Amino acid sequence: MVQQRIKAVLAEVFQIDPATLAPTASPADIEGWDSFGHLALVEALQTEFRIQFEVEDIARMENLGAIEQILLRRGVEP
């Protein structure tokens, strides 16, 4: 469930098909996931999951799987 929600956010922010996203999807795989895209993604994730990330969390968001683990550690229901 969490991964599907993350995929939906990534798809919206980067205008891509969520079905193409693997757990290893990273900035190298997604056009537009640069520093500005990362900020847009963080904002969209915070809105979707109603949380505030710590700076360390934001720096660790290296791929879809890492984002999922961060959200689960922050108490988001699976």
CATH of 2-73, one of 1.10.10.10, 1.10.1200.10, 2.140.10.30, 2.60.120.260: 1.10.1200.10
Burial class of residue 29, CB neighbours in 10 A (0-12, 13-18, 19+): middle
75 pLDDT higher than 90:
yes
77 pLDDT higher than 90:
no
Indicate the pLDDT class of residue 49, thresholds 50, 70 and 90: very high
Mean pLDDT, all residues of the chain: 96
What residue ranges do the domains of the chain occupy? 2-73
pLDDT score at 78: 80
pLDDT score at 45: 98
Q: Find the mean pLDDT for residues 49-54.
A: 97
50 pLDDT higher than 90:
yes
